[in-house]
Amino acid sequence: MKYNIRITKTRESHLSEVDFNNIPFGRVFSDHMFVVDYRDGQWVDPRIEPFGRFSIHPAAMALHYGQAIFEGMKASKSNDGRPMLFRPEKHAQRINNSARRLCMPEIPEALFLEALHALVGLDSDWIPPQEGSALYIRPFMFANDEFIGVRPSENYKFFIITGPVGPYYPKPVSLLVDQKYARCAVHGGTGEAKAAGNYAGSLLPAKLAMQKGYDQVMWLDSNEFKYVQEVGTMNIFFVIDGKVFTPELDGGILPGITRDSILKIFREKGFQAEERRISIDEVAEAYKAGKLQEVFGAGTAAIVSHVSKISYGDMLMELPPVEARKFGELAKAEINGLRSGRIKDTHGWIVPVNSHVAVDA
The pLDDT mean for the chain works out to 93
Among 3, 1, 257, smallest CA distance to 118 is for: 3
CA 23 to chain centre: 18
User: How far, in Å, CA of 28 to CA of 186, rounded?
Assistant: 35
User: Cβ distance 93 to 109 under 8 Å?
Assistant: yes
Element (H, E) at 290: none
Q: Between the CA of residue 128 and those of 12, 28, 277, 338, what are the distances in Å?
A: 20, 12, 38, 16
> pLDDT tens-digit profile of 205-238?
999 999 999 999 999 998 899 999 999 989 999 9
- Domains of the chain, CATH where assigned: 6-166 (3.30.470.10), 173-325 (3.20.10.10)
Angstrom distance (rounded) from CA 175 to CA 209: 8
- In whole angstroms, what is the distance from residue 80 CA to residue 78 CA? 5
The mean per-residue pLDDT over the stretch 30-51 comes to 98
* Percent of the chain at pLDDT exceeding 90: 83
DSSP category for residue 99: H
Pairing state between β 303-312 and 173-177: parallel
User: What region does 139 belong to: left with phi over 0, alpha with psi -120 to 50, or beta?
Assistant: beta
- At 120, which amino acid appears? V
Residue 359: predicted pLDDT: 42
Q: CA 190 to CA 66: how far, in whole Å?
A: 12
How far is residue 71's CA from residue 81's CA, in Å, rounded to a whole number? Answer: 25
How much is the pLDDT for 29? 97
Buried b (16+ CB within 10 A) or exposed e, 162-174: bbbbbbbbeebbb
3-state secondary structure of 63: helix
> In the structure, what pLDDT confidence band is assigned to residue 257 with cuts at 50, 70 and 90?
very high
- Nearest CA to 76 out of 208, 186, 165 is that of 165
Cβ–Cβ < 8 Å for 159, 35: yes
SS3 per-residue string spanning 152-221: CCCCEEEEEEEEEECCCCCCCEEEEECCCCCCCCCCCCCCCCCEHHHHHCCHHHHHHHHHCCCCEEEEEC
The radius of gyration computed from the CA coordinates of the chain, to the nearest angstrom, equals 21
Given pLDDT bands bounded at 50, 70 and 90, which one contains residue 360? very low
Taking each helix axis from N to C end, the angle separating 109-122 and 88-101, rounded to the nearest 10 degrees, works out to 130
Higher-pLDDT residue of 251, 211: 211
Over residues 36-41, the mean pLDDT reads: 98
- Angle, alpha carbons 92-197-55 (nearest 5°): 80
Which is it for strands 68-70 and 134-143: parallel, antiparallel or unpaired?
antiparallel
Residue 85: HSE in the Cβ half-sphere, 13 Å Cα cutoff: 25
Q: How many CB atoms lie within 10 A of CB 161?
A: 17
How would residue 144 be classed by pLDDT, with cut points 50, 70 and 90? very high
pLDDT of res. 55: 96
| C-alpha span between 139 and 74 (Å, rounded) | 11
